[in-house]
Amino acid sequence: MNELLVDYIVIGGGSGACATAGRLSENQSKTVLVLEAGGNGRDWAIKTPAAAVAMLPTKYNNWAFKTVAQPGLNGRCGYQPRGKTLGGSSAINAMIYIRGHASDYDHWAELGNAGWSYKELLPYFIRSENNADLSGPYHGQNGPLHVSNLRSDNPFQQIYLQAGQQAGFSVNTDFNGASQEGIGVYQVTQHLGERCSAARAYLEPHAERSNLNILTGAYVTRILFAVDGENKRAVGVEFSHNGVTKTARAKEEIILAAGALQSPQILMLSGVGDQDELGALGIPLVHHLPGVGKNLQDHPDMILNYQSNSLDLVGFSFLGGFAMLKQAWRYLTKRRGMLTTNYAECGGFLKTSPELPAPDVQLHFVVSVVEDHARTLRWGHGYSCHLCVLRPVSRGTVKLASTNPHAAPLIDPNFLGEPEDMEVMLKGVKLTQQIMNAPALTAQRTKAYTDAHIRNDDELRALIRQRADTVYHPVGTCKMGTDAMAVVDSQLRVHGIRALRIADASIMPTLIGGNTNAVCMVIGEKAADLISTGQ
């Protein structure tokens, strides 16, 4: 049995993990070990933005999980891609830089989580950001995370904005500024046309630090504890690496940051969770925390697809193949053009009712046809538009399938489990249709693939149940709070266990109104601050 001894162990290599480890390693007197099950996050598909299409629908740098059967989706099993590489899902996602709505964080604070209001988190967002194109009181230019405008130069950005205005919606040039509402073109986590994952931001620039040890291909199987009556402390981690079982010991703290699906899995495998559920699997109980794996929230999403003859749209055709060769040369020489696309280039935040205090649905306008998470491909060209519900009422779970640490967890987002979510999605799809049916976009399309046959609300509801799935934002399974189902406190410390914190999307008590990558890095930033200051 091989054993390492360090000050801090970070479990996982995703957005929260990278930010935590990178910041902790700034203190040269402290040693940091990062354990990531996947690869090093440096291959061509990660760096080239458009190559996300090679990863999202496959197991390439991707855990490619499935959900259990979803009653709200006609019994279908959903798809849950998660990054399996340094950088985590920031290495395979659409790179959209969104912080969420200010009220989301104020709500966290109202739930008893001191230090997590928007005013208190804004400095962390600014500190993490290096924005090439926006400045002012809401943005930073000195952080490790590169953010910029798209370099795809796609004319469909302006076509989409024109259609949105024709449908009566206003253009917003900064979704992370004073107001979130409106339609616009997304900023992305890219630097000079290449993806800037959390690993490229927080770890790669500091790989030479002697106190930062990064192990890839290191699959964590359980956390080790020292238990003396009610005194319980996390002391180490067991993991497999190159076919060998190893352990690492932490002199100070262990930071669990394996994501909303795998952080609760690792806790439960280690004996931390609901005592009845663990007992049913024969797992010795270390600490009873019934909230582990509960409170799963995700944005349910619906996609409308349209055919077009435009070669400005990513697709498959003989002429498109020749056009892509030119685009490849442009990318190689200038890092511009179609290969820099994040696909979901535009979008917006809309209210399904004008009296709402914040937008409750989000759009992602995609410069290609997306079917079944890009697992089904069409001949030809076209565009799509996602519509997701930002604050679903439905709650789901993550549970263990078995005591085998290599078995995927049982993931149940409970999509559309509550009728309110269906009604918000119904209204949101209708808003999306207003934009898709505006003159600027109808002039570009030759066929509506998805909804041309829909005649009434019942048919639209049926279509939603037939097509809806995730837009890749699972959170909440180790929630922060003070109630009986909370797993961590406002300092991210696991209740009842010393020297163990969680720093990823699982700690969010409620889902934010937007993409979750940026806030995961802020959670890591704040975790490092809390640890460094002894809180």
Distance CA 298, CA 265 (A): 17
Q: Which pair of structure tokens corresponds to residue 342?
A: 């994040």
Cβ atoms 129, 147 nearer than 8 A: yes
**Beta strands 272-273 and 287-288, pairing class:** parallel
Q: Which pair of structure tokens corresponds to residue 167?
A: 């449908």
How many other β-carbons are positioned within 10 Å of the β-carbon of residue 69? 12
Name the nearest CA neighbour of 162 among 460, 503, 435. Answer: 435
User: Can you say whether residue 66 is alpha, beta or left, with left for phi > 0 and alpha for psi between -120 and 50 degrees?
Assistant: beta
Cβ atoms 169, 428 nearer than 8 A: no
Name the nearest CA neighbour of 327 among 150, 154, 96. Answer: 154
Q: Which residues pair with 248 in a beta bridge?
A: 4, 237
What are the respective helix, strand and coil percentages of the chain, to the nearest 5?
30, 30, 45
Distance CA 150, CA 95 (A): 10
Q: Which pair of structure tokens corresponds to residue 62?
A: 């991707």
Beta strands in 65-217 (DSSP E): 65-70, 76-80, 129-131, 145-147, 182-185, 190-191, 194-195, 212-216
Does residue 473 have an active-site annotation? yes
Name the nearest CA neighbour of 506 among 111, 15, 1. Answer: 15
Residue type, 375: R
Three-state SS string across 373-438, please? CCCECCCEEEEEEEEEECCCCCCEEEECCCCCCCCCCEEECCCCCCHHHHHHHHHHHHHHHHHHCC
Q: Which pair of structure tokens corresponds to residue 279?
A: 């007992």
Distance CA 87, CA 145 (A): 12
User: Can you say whether residue 518 is alpha, beta or left, with left for phi > 0 and alpha for psi between -120 and 50 degrees?
Assistant: alpha
Cβ atoms 380, 306 nearer than 8 A: no
Q: Which pair of structure tokens corresponds to residue 175?
A: 């979704």
Name the nearest CA neighbour of 252 among 234, 267, 227. Answer: 234
Residue type, 421: D
Name the nearest CA neighbour of 272 among 238, 236, 222, 231. Answer: 222
- Burial class for 404, CB neighbours closer than 10 Å (0-12, 13-18, 19+): exposed
Catalytic residue among 101, 299, 364, 473: 473
Q: Catalytic site residues?
A: 473
